[in-house]
Structures are given as C-alpha cells and as structure tokens.
Amino acid sequence: MGNRAAAVVFVHEVRQIVGSLRFAFVFVALAVLLALTALPAATRFELEREEHKEVARAFEAALEAGTVGGFTDQRVPAVKPPWPLLFAVEGGQMATPNRYYQELSRLSLPRLAHTEDGEARLPAVPPLDWMLVVRVALSLAAFVLCHDAVSTEREARSSRLVWSQPVTRGQLLLGKFLAYQTCLALPVAVGAAASALLFSAATGVALAPVAGKLACVLALGLWILAIYVLVALWFASHIREAATCLTVLLFTWVASVVVAPAVADIAARRLAPLPSEVAVKRHLEKIYDDVHAELAGRSERWRGKAGAVDGFAGEKLSLRAANVTYTRQEEFWRQVLRGRLDQARLARDLASVSPAYLVQGVAERLAGTGLGREHSFLEQVRYYRVMLAATIRAMDLQDPESHHFYFVSDYLSKRRLPAGGIDTFAFRELTLCEGLAASWRVLLVLLGETLLLAWATRRAFVNQAVG
Amino acid sequence: MRPHVIWAVVRKEVAAGWASPRFQVSGWLIVLLSVVVSLAAADEYASRRNLWKRLQEESEKSLQEAQTWSGLSPLLLRPPEPLALFAQGFDSRLGREVAISTFSVPRQLSGDYRGNDFALHRNDLDLTTVVGVLLGFSALLLAFDAFTQERERRTGKLLAAAGVAPLELFVGKYLGLGVLLNLPLGLAAASSLALFARRHLLPLDASTLARLGGLVATYEIYLSLLVLLGVTVSLVSADSSRALSRLLFVWLVIFLAVPYVALNFGRESVAQRRLEREIERQVAAWEDGDLKALERDVKQEPLLAASSGYDSIFQIPDPEDRHVRFVRYGTASFYEATARVVAREIERGRHTAKRAFDAREGVAVRRRARERLAKGASLLSPSYVLDRIAESWAGTAAEDHDRFLGACRSFREQFLGHMDEKEVVRSWRWFTDDTRETLRPWPDFLDLTPADITPENRDAAIQLLYSPPASTRMEEHMERAGRDEARRVPVADLPRFDYTRPAAGEAARRSLPELGWLLALHLGLSAAALGWMRPARDVFGARA
C-alpha cells in the first residue's frame, strides 16, 4: 500500500515536471552540453595520438643508425598515451605533462613536456567533460527544478489536501525525490550515451574495455545528482518562499562550485609552497659545485683515447663525480616534482569540502586519471630508465673493446644497436580495481554524507508546517 | 520623469537592499574572496618579479662574460605586468623570454610563470574573476525580484496609487541597485589596491592610474548591464521564482556555456597541427640543407678537412645550439679558413631563419582565423567580454604578448645590424677569443711548431699534451685566459633592449569594440524594457 502511494505520487510528480517548460529547457541544455563534450575531446585525443606516433617514429629513426655508446646521449621519450575518457572525466590530462625525456648519460636531468603549445591565443577555460557539466549545469538544473517542490503546493493551497490523503509524508518525499531524480537522470543518460557514441565514432576507439570505468563515472554523476536533489528538497522544506529558496540554493552553489576550489588552491599554495625556479636552479648548481670542489678541479677530464696514457685515471675520477652529482641532482629534482604533486593533492583534498569536488576526486580515482595517473606515469618512467640502463649495460659488456664507463658515450661500445634491442616505453593504465582500492574510503565518506543528508531532508520534510 | 521620485526609489532600494540577508552574505563573500585572491595574486606577482630580476641579472652577467660573438645571445625578458594583479590574462601563460639568435627569428617566448603543472587552477584567479562571476551573480540575485516582489507583496498598487510612473520606478531601482553593488565592489577594489600599494607592487604613475580607471569603469559597465538584465527580466516575469529561473538559464547558457563550448572547440584542430608539423619538417629540411652545405664548405678547406698541427684541439660545442662555437689554440691560417666557412654559414642561416619565420607565420594565420571564430562566438557572453576588456586595460592580453614579440624581432634586427657594422661575422671573434697577438697554437705547449705535427704523429702528440708537464702548462694558460677580461666580447656599445608597456590610450583604443558591444547590449535591454512598459501593461500588478 505504501509503495503504491509513493508510486502514485511519483507518477503525478513526473507528469508535472515533464509538462513544464523549465524541464524542456533543462533537458535540452543538459543533453546537448553532455553530447558536445565528445567533440573537443575527440580532437584532443587525435592530436595526442598523432603526436605519440610522431615521437615514436622519430625515436625509431634515431635508433636505426645508433650505437650502444651513442644511445646514452639519446634523449629517450616516454609518452603518456592519450586518455580515452577525456570526454567523461578529463582529470587534468590536457594540461599536465604527457611526455618525459631522459638520457642515460649523467649530463642532463629528465625533462617533462606536454602537447599544449605556446601558439594558442585563446583564454584558458576548463576542459568540457561530463564532470564539468555535472558540477556546473546539472547542479543548477536540479536547483531550478526542485526549489519549489514544496512551495508550489503551499501557494496552490493544495498541501492540506495532499496531507489529508492516506499517504505518509515520507512516501510523499520519496515519490518527489524519485520523480526529480528520474527526470534529471534522463537527459544525463541521453547526453552521456550520445557523447560516448560520438567520441567512439570520431576516434575509432572502442569503449568496451573502459565500459566499467564509464559506468562508474556515470553512476557517480547520478549519485551527486541525488545529493543535489536532496539539498534542494531540504532547503525547500525549510524555506517557504520559492524565490528565497532558490536564492539560498544559488549561494550554496557559488560556495561549492566557485569559492571552495578557488580558496582550496590558494590555501594549498600557502600551506605547501614550492621552491622558486631560481631556487631550484641554484640548488642544482650548488650540488654540482660541492661535488666538484671536493675534487679540486680534477673532475671533468674526458680525453678520449688519449686518456689511456694513465689508464683513464682522470676519467674514472670524473665519472665518479658525474654519477654522484647526477644522483643527488636527480633526487632533488624528484623531490621538487613530489612537492608539486603533493601541493596539487592538498588543493584537491581541501576542495573536497564541496561534494561536487569530492565526487570529482572519486571519479578521477575510479577512472584512473587525475593525480593518480600522473604519479603512476612518473613511477613507470623511473622503472623504464632502470630497464634501459640494464639493457645497455648488458650490450656493452659483450664488447671487449669498450672501456665500460657507465654512462659516458665515448667510453662505451661503438657497436651498432641491434634491431629491436631497445624496448619503447609502454604505459600501463590503472585498473578499475586499483581505482576502487584508492577511493573506497572517500566513497564511504560520500555515502555517509548522502545518508545524513537523506535523513535530514526526510526530517525537515516530515516536520514542516502544513501551510 | 521626476528626479525626486527617482531619488526616493533609489533611497528605498539602497536601504532595503542593505538590510537584506542576500546582500549581506554576497557582499561580505565578495570582499573576503577579493582579499584572499589579492593576497595570492600579490604573492605570485612578487615571485614572478623576483624571478624576472634574477634572470635579468644572470643574463647581463652572461653577456659580460661572453668570449665569442657566436656565444653572445641576449636574453630578452618580458617583465611581469603589475596590473596582472587585477586581470591575469595571458601574463603567466605564453612564456617570458626569448634568446636572440642570428639563426632564428623570435616567434614564441619560452619559459613561463605557470606555476604548478598539476594544480587545479593555474594562476588564473584575479579580481576580474571575482567581479565577473561573484559580483555579477550577486547583481542578478539582487535584481531578479525588483518588480516581481512589488507585485507579490501588493505594494505595486500603492505605487500606482501614488502616481509613480513605471519608468521612474525602473530607473530608480536600476540606479539603487547599482549604488548598492558598488559598495562591495568599491571595498574589494580598495582593499586590493591597498594591499598591492603596501607591498610596493604597483607603480603609481599616470599610465597605471589611467589603466586602473579604465578597469574600474569596465567593471561598472558590466555590473550595470547585469542589473539592467535582472530588472528587465523581473519586469517581464509573472513571479520571482520564474524571473530567477529565467535569469539562471540566461546566465548558464549565455554567460557560461557559450564561451566554454566555443573556446573548447576553437582550441585546436588535427588538420592545423598536421600542417604545422609539415612546416616543421620543411624547416628541418632547410636546416639540414644548410648543414650539408657547411660540411661541403669544410671539405673544401684543407685545414678544416684534415687534422693537423694547425687546427684547434680545444673546441666546445654547445649541445643546445650547434651554431655556437668556441675554439682556441689554433693557428692564424686555421682561423682564416674557419672565418670564411662561418661567414657563408651565417649568410645561409639568416636566410633560412627568415624563410622559416615566414612559413610558420603563414600557417599560424589559419590558426588565428579559427581562434577568431571561437572568440567571436564567445562575445555573446558579457562575462567573456569583461575578461577581454580587463586584459586590454591590464596589459595582459594576447595582443600585448604579440607586441612584445614584435619588439623582440625589431631588437634582433638592431643587434644583427650592430654585428654587421662591427664586421664580426667575417672575423675570428665570431668563434674564438684568440687574437693575432695572443695566438698560441697547441703544439707550442709541447715546444713544437704546427709544421712538426703530421697525421702520423698527431695522436701521440695529443697524448703527450694530456700528460704533465704539457697538460699543466695548458691548464694554467686556460685559467689565465678565462680570467682575462680583454678576451671578452666588448658589449658596452651593444644595443640595449628597452620595452615599454603600451600607453593607456592604446589599451582604450583596443577595447573600444568590446565596450561598444556592452553598451549596445545596454541599449537593447533598455529598449526591451521600455517596450514592455507600454501604457496598456499592468506593470505594478495593480489590477486584480
């Protein structure tokens, strides 16, 4: 009986919502915005894919005529492949570095680069993806549709009539909640499906392997939608006037979507400041000076074959200095990189005060993008270097004419690199299971917040004055 | 229209608005956020300015220490723009420096002030964002019920009975809300200014003050437009809820969605990037052609083609730039041969640099056309227009960046002209700090002459050179030569790069079209409101 009552309320509410002009605007706006996310994402994906191929081609060409020793001076690229879910949860992939260059030689530190170039004269805007539409447009749409869920009945004087029916307030609330949730979920589902299909058609990328991640992101979008609807119903139960209710909801929106991330970012920069570019450069120079001061100017002696006169004594000293310098400089450089990631992580954690950004963080973790992907990329390239070093060492040891000074090109084997002897970098994406493992705690927090909100909304709705 | 009636309405709007929780919450939020954003912007600007100063010092030092003309590469640094504190624009995004080179024409700046690559927001928060988003939103939230609340509270009847004309009410409400919103704006701007002035970040010269004035005027025009929009929608809506919903749709679609979508689409295209890559291949082919020509020239010079006692064994190639050379301990005939080859290389290089620049600019024209389309579509959004005008006033627009690049190119021409006047291109000084007076060919360290070195005994001679006592003598000589200031390139009369920001007048001229557009929107909205206030319409809801 209770379920039937709620179902009747649900059907009635759905009819009312769907019949309004407001809903028509909301449906079209949401569906179109979501569908549009596919196109710039597809362009970006294609660009990165082509760039990726170019880099691989250039690297293969460089290897063809290369020698074992010469390889140590070769700038070896490691490319983060284009992210297939750019249209759904971009996770900062368009702006963060996607290429890592490193050499085995100790002459220069690794370098990060990204596809974005210095030619663009367009203002920066956030990339268009599902999460942006959910955060900005879906929230506003939910507030606009739901803000007068209670006041319309008060104003139409029908609330007394409604309360007098054999339906509990809890069932009434359930019916309304499900009606709003369903009506708003429709354009989201339509838009999301259109977006996925468009992206797949434009890029030729099969989305079946990432269907699980996509489904999780969509589910999260519907989860945050439920939170928006509950928030709107909570305020609607407390505030009698529709316009005032909507105003308060909009202030909440501003605080959640605009103020929270801005303040979080500023706070993170203050709480976890980064060393300036000049400070980093000076520290690296100091490391070099300190190591070479110990050798009183006897380091940096590379005499080629002429060094055989004293058994390459000078070169051995220089090699030790170069290796120590590089190890310390690289460690410091990685520390700076870790600092940047930590600052960015802190900003995101602080922004998670807002449910919209909490969900964004969960979506990024589940999908395997965001800072998790950056961290994984940096770890994998580090391991790749270890593999490269082992490969070159093994090749060099087979040449009796090599002086085996690792990794100084003039003192290593001059033999040609064997075809296919060097593995190119292959990035392993994070799996959904890894994403779940990284986000289960936050999911629990989100669940707790949702249940608390649901309880508070029910209480407010049930206890509100009739009219 | 009666001024005293309008004035009464203005006073009433200000009093009512001041007391309303909406205004209190939004007003304090705006001021607080402005202070927080300004503090962050001040820190960022201060660190950029320090970086710029340090880089300038280092650049000057490296100029003073240059030993050859090929190694002389003045670094031109774009100074961080002080008014970026108010409108960041492109200041932190498009690079900050360019090294002048004979072999390339500056097209892009390298290095940037972006900060953390992994951050949520990359240095793009400023007072203009607070005004555009928060204050603009607050304007809508205060104005949406200007007329609808009179109807809902039935006070419209009283106004109609008192003989207040709809136009008088409209103008009074518009002005009253404008005055009200200027309070948080004024407080936000004043606190930001005070903060920046206290840290001596803002030069308070006439140009800066004029630009600041322009910026504030732009904020006023923007706010006025939003108040006008809010009051007009309130005029034509049946109730407050409907008015607010309509305003929200307008805000979401026109203010936010249109520029987001247009700018995302306008960002890049696969075809454009392929074209650019093709041009880069073409340029690389030209440069390879130059390299092959250089190799042919080298083969034609016997002293360069084969090793002997006449050449230099001390050569430092620059891994970043193959054109930078530094050689020592060669002979006069070797240096003469090198100078002949290098002169031809430079002539080819200058020609290739011009060709490469023209080719790249040709392709960039298409990219700019696409970007103009995206920008054009985005002009529908008043908040986008506000950002563009603010950038022009602040000197952080893309046009300012391009202006700096233009100045860099002009300086390059001056620099090349200076080198031509001094005839350094055909001289030894391009690639060595040895002069005829200080010549010391390397066999001299072995008490031999260049003629004593043959292809057969050269390797053995070099081995001896790396052993004491020859190696010690050579190291001592290198150290003395390194400290010898007479060996440095004379830079006292080098042309100096002097870049000045565009005048406030130029900023004004540049922002005229967008300002005109905002004023046109004003006119449009005003005409719509006037049209609605026809006598037949019951603006006050006085009839039952």
**The pLDDT of residue A343:** 94
Closest-CA distance of chain A to residue B167, Å: 24
Contacts with B121 from chain A: Cβ below 8 Å: 261-262, 265
Residue of B nearest to A40 (CA): B265
CA–CA separation, B13 and A265 (whole Å): 37
pLDDT in 10s for each residue of chain B, 544 residues: 888 999 999 999 999 999 988 899 889 889 998 998 898 888 888 888 988 999 999 999 999 999 999 989 999 999 989 898 899 888 878 888 999 999 999 998 887 666 788 886 655 678 998 999 889 989 999 999 999 988 888 887 788 778 888 888 999 999 999 999 999 999 999 999 888 888 888 888 899 999 999 999 999 999 999 999 999 999 999 888 889 889 998 998 899 899 989 998 888 788 888 999 999 999 999 999 999 999 999 999 998 888 888 888 776 666 566 776 788 999 999 999 999 999 999 999 999 999 999 999 999 998 899 899 999 999 999 999 999 999 999 999 999 999 999 999 999 999 999 999 999 988 999 999 999 998 999 999 999 999 999 888 888 888 888 877 888 898 899 889 888 988 999 999 999 998 988 889 999 999 999 999 999 999 999 999 988 886 655 666 654 4
Average pLDDT of the residues of chain A: 89
The pLDDT confidence band at residue A365, using thresholds 50, 70 and 90, is very high
B33 at interface of A, judged by CB pairs closer than 8 A:
yes
Contact B241 A264 (CB under 8 A): no
- Judged by DSSP in three states, A77 sits in strand
Closest-CA distance of chain B to residue A278, Å: 7
Q: Which residues 6+ apart lie within 8 Å of B316 measured at CB?
A: B325, B326, B327
In angstroms, the first-to-last Cα distance of chain B is 27
**The pLDDT of residue A309:** 74
Nearest to A242 among B118, B241, B263 (CB): B241
CA–CA separation, B62 and B73 (whole Å): 9
- Placement of tokens 């295209």 in the chain: B269
B17 at interface of A, judged by CB pairs closer than 8 A:
no
Contact A25 B249 (CB under 8 A): yes
CA–CA separation, A352 and A293 (whole Å): 49
**The pLDDT of residue A123:** 87
**The pLDDT of residue A272:** 93
CA–CA separation, A91 and A213 (whole Å): 13
Closest CA to A34 of A222, A211, A175, A307: A222
* Secondary structure percentages of chain B, helix, strand, coil, to 5: 70, 5, 30
- Placement of tokens 């400041």 in the chain: A273
Contact A118 B110 (CB under 8 A): yes
Tens digit of pLDDT for each residue in A347-363? 999 999 999 999 999 99
Whether A1 has a pLDDT exceeding 60, the answer reads: no
Q: In what order do the strands lie in the sheet with A99-102?
A: A76-79, A99-102, A111-113
- Placement of tokens 């060669």 in the chain: B330
A303 at interface of B, judged by CB pairs closer than 8 A:
yes
A153 at interface of B, judged by CB pairs closer than 8 A:
no
Nearest to B119 among A40, A259, A347 (CB): A347
**The pLDDT of residue A465:** 59
Contact B252 A29 (CB under 8 A): yes
CA–CA separation, A77 and A100 (whole Å): 6
Closest-CA distance of chain B to residue A450, Å: 25
Whether A159 has a pLDDT exceeding 70, the answer reads: no
- Residue from A143, A254, A349 to probe the interface with B (highest B Cβ count within 10 Å): A254
**The pLDDT of residue B543:** 46
Closest-CA distance of chain B to residue A106, Å: 14
Contact B248 A140 (CB under 8 A): yes
**The pLDDT of residue A197:** 96
**The pLDDT of residue B544:** 40
B94 at interface of A, judged by CB pairs closer than 8 A:
yes
A94-108, A283-297, B394-408, range with the lowest pLDDT? A283-297
pTM confidence score: 0.89
* Residue A30, CB-side half-sphere exposure with 13 Å CA sphere: 30
Where do runs of H (alpha helix) occur along B379-452?
Answer: 382-394, 398-422
* Residue A119, CB-side half-sphere exposure with 13 Å CA sphere: 21
Closest CA to B113 of B57, B160, B47: B47
Answer whether B279's CB lies under 8 Å from B363's CB. yes
pLDDT higher for B229 or A150? B229
Closest CA to A319 of A411, A430, A434: A411
A46 at interface of B, judged by CB pairs closer than 8 A:
yes
- Placement of tokens 């209480």 in the chain: A459
Tens digit of pLDDT for each residue in A199-256? 999 999 999 999 999 999 999 999 999 999 999 999 999 888 888 888 889 889 988 9
Q: Which residues 6+ apart lie within 8 Å of B355 measured at CB?
A: B283, B286
Contact A258 B134 (CB under 8 A): yes
Contact B371 A122 (CB under 8 A): yes
B53 at interface of A, judged by CB pairs closer than 8 A:
no
Closest CA to A35 of A191, A238, A166: A191
Contacts with B364 from chain A: Cβ below 8 Å: 119
Mean pLDDT over A51-55 rounds to 90
> Taking a contact as any Cβ pair under 8 Å apart, which residues of chain B between 180 and 239 contact chain A?
239
Query: Residue by residue, what is the 3-state secondary structure of A177-233?
Result: HHHHHHHHHHHHHHHHHHHHHHHHHHHCCCCHHHHHHHHHHHHHHHHHHHHHHHHHH
Where do runs of H (alpha helix) occur along B76-135?
Answer: 127-129
Contact B148 A33 (CB under 8 A): no
Q: Which residues 6+ apart lie within 8 Å of B404 measured at CB?
A: B78, B109, B499
Contact A265 B367 (CB under 8 A): no
Contacts with B142 from chain A: Cβ below 8 Å: none
pLDDT higher for A118 or B59? B59
Where do runs of H (alpha helix) occur along A38-93?
Answer: 38-64, 68-71
- Which ipTM score applies to this complex? 0.86
A343 at interface of B, judged by CB pairs closer than 8 A:
yes
**The pLDDT of residue A95:** 85
**The pLDDT of residue A22:** 87
* Secondary structure percentages of chain A, helix, strand, coil, to 5: 70, 5, 25
Tens digit of pLDDT for each residue in A162-198? 555 677 888 888 999 999 999 999 999 999 999 999 9
Q: Which residues of B307-325 are buried (b: 16+ CB within 10 A; e: fewer)?
A: ebbbbbbeeeeeeeeebbb
User: Distance between alpha carbon B79 and the CA centroid of its chain, in Å?
Assistant: 10
Closest CA to A364 of A354, A356, A372: A372
- Residue from B248, B260, B366, B465 to probe the interface with A (highest A Cβ count within 10 Å): B260
- Placement of tokens 């009796």 in the chain: A400
Nearest to B121 among A22, A262, A371 (CB): A262
Partners of B101 in the beta sheet?
B104
Contact B117 A33 (CB under 8 A): no
